[in-house]
Amino acid sequence: MKIKQIFQKLVNFIKEARAELKKVTWPNRKELISSTIVVMVAVVLVAIYLGLIDLLFSRVVAIILQ
C-alpha cells in the first residue's frame, strides 16, 4: 500500500509539473540572444572588477609584508 501511495504522489507531481510548464511563456530567439548578451557582459564586468580588487589587495599585502 505504501508503494502505491508513493507512486501516486510521483504521478501527481509529474502531472502538475507538466501543467505548470504549459503556463510558462518561453522567450523567442531574439529575447534569448539579448538576455544572453546581457548576462555575458555582466559576467565580464564583474570578473574585471574582482580581478582589479584582487590585484589591489595583493599589492597592498605585498607592500605590508616587505
Structure confidence at residue 4 as a pLDDT band (50, 70, 90) = confident
Note the pLDDT tens digit of each residue in 7-29: 999 999 999 999 999 999 999 99
For residue 43 the three cell numbers come to 559576467
Task: Tell me the pTM.
Answer: 0.64
Note the pLDDT tens digit of each residue in 29-66: 999 999 999 999 999 999 999 999 999 999 999 999 98
Amino acid type, 54 = D
Residue 2 confidence (pLDDT): 85
CA distances from 17 to 12, 24, 48, 62, 63 (A): 8, 11, 40, 55, 57
